[in-house]
Amino acid sequence: MTTWSAGPRGLFFEDLEVGWKVRTPGRTVTEADIVGFAGLSGDYTPLHTDAEYARGTMFGERIAHGLLGLAIASGLATRLGFLEETVEAFTGLEWKFRAPIRIGDTIYAEIEVAQKRPTPDGRAGFVVFNVQVRNQRGEVVQRGQWTLLVRARGAGAPQASPAASSERPSEG
């Protein structure tokens, strides 16, 4: 039986040119997102979880965790598919939190290739992306750089697990 594989959907190191830009779809941040992130991270800071406390802060209401905004931006980027199955590692992050993300804000990311550097063996390369997270009013709420190790074309794909294959392993 022939095993079929579609191959990587993402862009290879050679495909990502300096200056290439993309914008993700938007996603509305909800109270459930904030409560869920507090549970996942263990960060129950009152600014995020206590409405009465947050009313007395400079923001006047609860706001999303900064790292929740970063996590959502990462997820929005992966939805586009250009990172799928070609990114080997997320190797670096420089990040600034510029404005609050409020419950009900819809955020999106603008991503641009800023720099590229091949690895010495040529099997991959480091790609630095400038990333801006904006809200529905176009205000930058977070920004920074992500550095990813991206596989080069022809470097060989990782072997798929049996579950990812159309051919099932035989049972002993």
pLDDT at position 7 is 57
Parts of the chain with a pLDDT under 50: 4, 165-172
pLDDT at position 124 is 98
CA angle 34, 40, 43 (to 5 degrees): 65
pLDDT at position 169 is 46
- Domains annotated for the chain, with CATH where assigned, are 13-157 (3.10.129.10)
pLDDT at position 166 is 45
Instruction: Tell me the backbone φ, ψ of residue 107, rounded to 5 degrees.
Output: -115, 155
Nearest to 84 by CA among 164, 10, 23, 158: 10
Identify the DSSP state of 28: E
pLDDT at position 167 is 46
